[in-house]
Amino acid sequence: MLEKTEERLDSEAVIEEFESLTKDAGKVQKEILKRILQENGEIEYLLKFGLDGKTDPASFKARVPIVTHEDLEPYIRRIADGEKSSILSAKPISTISLSSGTTQGKPKYVPFNDALIDSTMQIYKTSFAFRNREYPIIGNGKALQFIYGSKQFKTNGGLTAGTATTNVYRNTEFKRTMHAMQTPCSSPDEVIFGNNFQESLYCHLLCGLIFSDEIQVVSSTFAHSIVHAFRTFETIWPQLVTDIRDGVLSSRISSLNIRSAMEKVLVGPNPKLGDTIHRKCLGLSNWYGLIPEIFPNVKYVYGIMTGSMEGYVGKLRHYAGGELALVSGDYGSSEGWIGVNVNPRLSPEMATFAVLPNIGYFEFVEMGLPEEAAVVAAAAQPVGLTEVEVGKEYEIIVTTFAGLYRYRLGDIVKVKGFHNSTPELQFICRSNLVLNINLDKTTEKDLQLAVNTSANLLAGEKLELVDFTSFADRSTDPGNYVIFWETTANNNNNNDEIMQECCNCLDRSFVDAGYVSSRRVNSIGKLELKILKRGTFNKIMDYYVGLGSAVSQFKTPRFIGINNHKVLNILSTNVVNTYSSTAFD
């Protein structure tokens, strides 16, 4: 691992280390598996498989089964409940991470330890080194980071539990690393860890404006948070300008901790800066190019922009204008990291991630034809990191230093090439996120493409798609797809014609053969497009945050399961118009 340092990061040294690791990724992988099994060979979980001290890949694969989170959940619960025995890890697990919960409808418990902090900092440093080579930070910059720590709590056994991002942000290595990369957050910790999201967002924006000439990076964990922040900015900027002009924080901030911290940032009246921001905001046309206009020294916008985040890239480009780069963040999950973006000039839609071979042991199960995909993970023999083939799609299996062994991550990736001997992966979709009524299997990627195609029709009416999700309604015979849209339209019926056209276009844009053939013979019913009240997806976000998710970790669920009653209720009670497709009439 890279040495801990408070000094400026030597980007070229980091890249040199990465190059060394990836030149013989297969050898590194064998060494990593050996270390994991040597450290944890006597734990309860592994003992029952009879490894008998063997640490080679063949023995490991022959004896230890591929599992899902549901298989490991009883063991993780025992750890959370305070059992002191070595259950999944020889090293004590003192922290539990919570997944966002937006994929499965409820947060998952995941073991978290210092090894995950180490791999997180290695990912951050490696990614930054490649970005800094292309978009160098000048002097001592700052980052406008829309990051938010959720509440931490104690499990029944006294372990600290919180979202993975919160566990990282609260670790001293995070701040040390941000300073080493010349991109410390422009906001004080009290803003990041505030109890009220709206107050924290307001102060993030205010700090960004105060340090507007020093901001060189605008970032968040996910693209959604950046888009949400600047949509909010469009409506509250006059109040922010007033605060800067007067040197007094708005009364809307009620938290004493935040007010005290912000007094050290908002040190006095600054009418000149306030007037400059006011002039710039008035001069923008529909907020195009907002980010480089307000933050003239920004080098790029950074955050995860793949998968369910791809739907926000268009709006992010609008805010970034024509020249400012969008750089997709690295590839990981609550369970651990996978790969790093070493090609920062690639567009978000083309982003690939080179697997770091020393942060875990990776296996890949090749995906078969669509009709075989449900059983392929159980039937096929996985291949190692260096054995994957360019152009093929795989499901990832991970073994980590934090107690996960041959764990199905649930992600489908495509191998786009190799960096030295480690593969560069393109994220395709979640394996379990599939709309299905009859013979159809519509993936998240299929849904995104169909939505993109139909949403293009809104531009002619000067409307935008704010967000979307979907539901497979089997309560009628035949069942049908229901797509929920929130747009910038007013809540009235003046857009019936264009919305009906969008509905028909959606229905025609699904390319899955099972869907198309089933629609033609009416074994899948007419697609419904339901238009939601403005702010509906904010209510959904508030619901997940209430479950313990951090805002910066929030991902809008693209598929709503039948048992996700709370979210379905939010959606159904906020529908203002429904359109039924006539595309196959």
Q: Is residue 346 part of a domain?
A: no
Q: Count other Cβ atoms within 10 Å, centred on residue 196.
A: 13
Whether residue 300 sits in one domain with residue 173? yes
Contact 107, 547 (CB under 8 A): yes
Structure tokens at 450: 């169909």
Of 430, 465, 491, which closes a domain? 430
Whether residue 169 sits in one domain with residue 58? no
Q: Is residue 342 part of a domain?
A: no
Structure tokens at 164: 């993975």
Into how many domains does the chain fold? 3
Q: Is residue 248 part of a domain?
A: yes
Long-range contacts of 262-271 (CB under 8 A, 24+ apart): 262/188, 262/190, 262/191, 262/203, 262/206, 262/207, 264/188, 265/188, 265/206, 265/207, 265/210, 266/206, 266/210, 269/245, 270/210, 270/244, 270/245, 271/245
Q: Phi and psi (nearest 5°) for 486?
A: -110, 125
Give percent of the chain above pLDDT 70: 93
Whether residue 492 sits in one domain with residue 414? no
Whether residue 451 sits in one domain with residue 414? no
The b-or-e profile of 366-378 (16+ CB within 10 A means b, else e) is bbeebeebeebbe
Q: Is residue 102 part of a domain?
A: no
What value does the mean pLDDT of the chain take? 86
Q: Is residue 1 part of a domain?
A: no
The CATH number assigned to the domain holding 445 equals 3.30.300.30
Residue 433's pLDDT band, with cuts at 50, 70 and 90, is: low
Q: Phi and psi (nearest 5°) for 85?
A: -70, 160
Residue 482's pLDDT band, with cuts at 50, 70 and 90, is: very high
Q: Count other Cβ atoms within 10 Å, centred on residue 447.
A: 26
Whether residue 382 sits in one domain with residue 315? no
Q: Is residue 21 part of a domain?
A: yes
Whether residue 454 sits in one domain with residue 321? no
pLDDT at 346: 93
Whether residue 498 sits in one domain with residue 475? yes
Of 331, 365, 390, which closes a domain? 331
Q: Is residue 232 part of a domain?
A: yes
Of 430, 456, 483, which closes a domain? 430
Q: Is the pLDDT of residue 370 over 70?
A: no
DSSP string for 169-227: HTSHHHHHHHHHTT--BSS-HHHHT-S-HHHHHHHHHHHHHHTTTTEEEEEEEEHHHHH
Whether residue 229 sits in one domain with residue 122? yes
Question: Taking Cα atoms as reference points, which of 360, 355, 346 lies closest to residue 37?
Answer: 360
Q: Which domain holds residue 215?
A: 114-153+163-331
Residue 160's pLDDT band, with cuts at 50, 70 and 90, is: confident
Tell me the average pLDDT across 343-359: 93
Question: Taking Cα atoms as reference points, which of 381, 386, 383 lies closest to residue 354?
Answer: 386
Whether residue 506 sits in one domain with residue 443? yes
Residue 379's pLDDT band, with cuts at 50, 70 and 90, is: low
pLDDT in tens, 187-244: 998 998 888 888 999 999 999 999 999 999 999 988 888 999 999 999 999 999 999 9
Q: Phi and psi (nearest 5°) for 508?
A: -75, -20
Question: Taking Cα atoms as reference points, which of 311, 262, 351, 278 lies closest to residue 483?
Answer: 311
Q: Is the pLDDT of residue 29 over 90?
A: yes
Q: Is residue 158 part of a domain?
A: no
pLDDT at 102: 52
pLDDT in tens, 240-292: 999 999 999 999 999 999 999 999 999 889 999 999 999 999 999 999 999 99
Contact 407, 442 (CB under 8 A): no
Distance of alpha carbon 517 from alpha carbon 165, whole angstroms: 43
Please, which residues have CB within 8 angstroms of residue 175's CB and are 6 or more apart in sequence? 184
Whether residue 306 sits in one domain with residue 170? yes
Whether residue 302 sits in one domain with residue 271? yes
Whether residue 57 sits in one domain with residue 138? no
Distance of alpha carbon 424 from alpha carbon 391, whole angstroms: 11
Tell me the average pLDDT across 146-173: 77
Distance of alpha carbon 274 from alpha carbon 282, whole angstroms: 12
Q: Going by DSSP bridges, is the β-strand pair 480-487/465-473 parallel, antiparallel, or unpaired?
A: antiparallel
Tell me the average pLDDT across 318-332: 92
pTM over 0.85: no
* Top-confidence residue, 8 or 328: 328
